[in-house]
Structure 1
């Protein structure tokens, strides 16, 4: 009998295993009655980064990325309410999530305003936090966030293609086998395996996903709300993601024609799942430039 070939997830590269082995501190803070969980890496509070996940995701999507950004300072990733290990609410909106980002940044003890990095729906949250808290945010980076009326996750929920009432699976392996990205894309198997394993929780009768389906009932982010924040802004778009060149141009105009638009080659929408090192390189380069340049004045 020929033994089965090992899965690529069983032999991840050294950079990935080293990143996951990096100690992370788990903590929480309370925002409007809800406990908001977050993880932090690195030491020193001079420069801080806050990582914001997308819809139905959670802080563990950043586990292999955050340790690679600690050269820029302490890195924090939070679970927005209704996601991950944070509490659920009766209803959700961008302003509440933006306040959670601000509260986690304050709890992390940064000595100066942080840079906030948000993916997909987390980009909406990031831009809203920058608008609400102005000088208390040093920079806002959005990653494949298409500023339009609805995200692909919300569209899938509305069309009942995904994110419906949570199913309970009889065992852990059955739940893990159901993990899918929305929109579907190629992923690095070892990254996808880690994200899947941290996306489920044990409940009576089996296993289910951690997110609250009601997150998709929130009011939508209108492009009319997109104005230039009082901080530096950058837009990352995945080559094969959801941000078209037309959407990029519209965002550039609305952000005061001063936000760089950076494309990540060969990446799908969930950049941290297929091109994490390219994402890290782009963020590191951008932060180094911001450290040694003056903000551009919008024309």
Structure 2
């Protein structure tokens, strides 16, 4: 395994925490995690890709050691990706993203024309602005967003978190390495020896609201508007993947992405769930390499 390098981009009050695997100077690959997680959940994928790429991953705003400003719209995340690519002076980037992190890359492609050579996006969070609906979230979706506030945020130790999450359905199929990485970097130690989620329930609830609005086709955006129409202007090849064991809403959003993107291709991970990179990292590495050929 490779010992990753850690650094941050930007001032302390707006820092984006970064992880790098492998030597500098190779073709860059930028990995972006999904909601609730951290850069280090890519470790098994990143270590394998580092033989051919300089691999970077970031803690998305609100997550890990990155800034937590309170604004969590889709364009905020795309702007953070732009900041990273400009700060590191990256060109010919292979973008690899999962869920809402995949959306970050798709929207950043419009902000950074010519910077990406290809995008490999696993079940991105997408709405089709051509089929937008009026109104807001229904009661069931609101209940799910607000239900996040009841998530347990503090535990007696990192070991207690691991034991609790090891048997939780959401993490049942994760590799031990991926789950250990999430526990180690997704929680911060407290003075009394306990640990607390870095992406607190309050932050995750705020992050999830626009995501659920996009799922329901009711996302409006902020003063910058709805950015999803920009997917029709992506200027590089995109592979949109789904996982056979995830769920219908993820497949539907993948279909929306394929309908909007000019140069899409598709791939299905059989016998895997939504967090495919943490469940079967070796298959993700194989698929990423195949798309690069």
The TM-score, its normalising length taken from structure 1, stands at 0.77
Tell me how far 1:185 sits from its aligned partner. Answer: 4.8
Contact 2:124 2:254 survives alignment (8 Å): no
Is 1:103–2:83 an aligned residue pair? yes
CA shift in 2, pair 1:157/1:134, >3 Å: farther
Provide the C-alpha distance between the structure 2 equivalents of 1:164 and 1:182, rounded to a whole number of angstroms. Answer: 17
| SS of equivalent residue, structure 2 residue 210 | coil
Count of residues in correspondence between the two structures: 262
Provide the C-alpha distance between the structure 2 equivalents of 1:155 and 1:42, rounded to a whole number of angstroms. Answer: 42
Q: 261, 268, 279: which is aligned to 1:255?
A: 261
Q: 191, 198, 205: which is aligned to 1:216?
A: 205
Contact 2:171 2:179 survives alignment (8 Å): no
Provide the C-alpha distance between the structure 2 equivalents of 1:74 and 1:164, rounded to a whole number of angstroms. Answer: 39
Match of 1:11 in 2: none
Contact 1:157 1:164 survives alignment (8 Å): no
Q: Which structure ranks higher in relative contact order (CA pairs < 8 Å, sequence separation ≥ 6)?
A: 2
Match of 1:197 in 2: 184
Tell me how far 1:39 sits from its aligned partner. Answer: 0.8
CA shift in 2, pair 1:30/1:164, >3 Å: farther
Tell me how far 1:135 sits from its aligned partner. Answer: 1.9
Give matches, 1:6-25, under 5 Å.
19=1, 22-25=2-5
Deviations 1:190-246 (A, max 9, x none): 432333233221124421112143243246254671522122211111121236655
Tell me how far 1:156 sits from its aligned partner. Answer: 7.9
Provide the C-alpha distance between the structure 2 equivalents of 1:48 and 1:163, rounded to a whole number of angstroms. Answer: 37
CA shift in 2, pair 1:73/1:266, >3 Å: same
Match of 1:135 in 2: 114
Is 1:267–2:272 an aligned residue pair? yes
Give matches, 1:145-160, under 5 Å.
145-148=124-127, 157-160=144-147
Is 1:188–2:167 an aligned residue pair? no
Q: 87, 94, 101: which is aligned to 1:122?
A: 101
Is 1:276–2:281 an aligned residue pair? yes
Deviates further, 134-143 or 187-196: 187-196
Provide the C-alpha distance between the structure 1 equivalents of 2:54 and 2:16, rounded to a whole number of angstroms. Answer: 18
Contact 1:120 1:146 survives alignment (8 Å): yes
Tell me how far 1:148 sits from its aligned partner. Answer: 4.2
Tell me how far 1:32 sits from its aligned partner. Answer: 9.5
Structure 1 unaligned segments of length 5 or more: list them: 1-18, 289-299
Deviations 1:105-153 (A, max 9, x none): 233343x231211101101111111122222333222112242499xxx
* Higher helix residue share: 2
The TM-score, its normalising length taken from structure 2, stands at 0.78
Deviations 1:14-52 (A, max 9, x none): xxxxx3xx1211111117941111011122435211100
